[in-house]
Amino acid sequence: MGGNESLEEKGFFLKPSHFAVLLHIVPTHSLRATHWDLLLEHPHPGNDCLLSFELLVPPAEWSNPTAATRLPDHRSRYLTYEGPISNDRGHVKRILQGSLEWVKSTECSLIVRLKWEKLEEHTEDLEGLSTRPFSGILELHRNQNLPEFAVGSWQITLSEHARPNDPDALGS
């Protein structure tokens, strides 16, 4: 992203964005473990890539600080894609999706307000999250002692979440 200025300070206009969480099931011969991919639409209007992070714990556990590994940006088609991944890298299923509002975006810190709906066909993958629409604040902070794409180079925390129409919900 370059520099420590926020996107607002650089004069970018933030577009409405979306996100998805994919369960990436890898083949048994893979050196990688099955994991969850967090995909965030890039906040810059001219960039249609997805900021991508790999997490080894399910979204229901993201309320505790969780190590995340920054992945190279993914193509935007993965926001809605389910199925096999080329070169025998396993397959993905979309288990969570929704909209996001960028609160802060710098080289070392990303804060977004998420509004999501759990996909009913994958409820077994999200035990602990409500099937009703929810919202929450997701914070990602980079460990500046590690290279951006190093294992565990980011930490993610999902705030207490609440139903959007609750009086105590975030942003109400």
Report phi then psi at 22, rounded to 5: -110, 140
Whole-angstrom Cα distance, residue 94 to residue 97?
7
CA angle 66, 164, 133 (to 5 degrees): 70
Q: Which residue has the higher pLDDT, 130 or 36?
A: 36
For residue 64, what are its two tokens?
């505790």
- Give the residue-averaged pLDDT of 27-35: 91
The CB density around residue 84, as the number of other CB atoms within 10 Å, is: 11
Element (H, E) at 24: strand 17-25
User: Over 50: is that where the pLDDT of 1 sits?
Assistant: no
- Give the residue-averaged pLDDT of 29-40: 92
Specify the pLDDT at position 18: 92
User: Over 70: is that where the pLDDT of 55 sits?
Assistant: yes
Closest CA to 26 of 2, 49, 56: 56
User: Over 70: is that where the pLDDT of 143 sits?
Assistant: yes
- Indicate the domain borders of the chain: 17-158
Which amino acid does the sequence have at 141? H
pTM above 0.85, yes or no: no
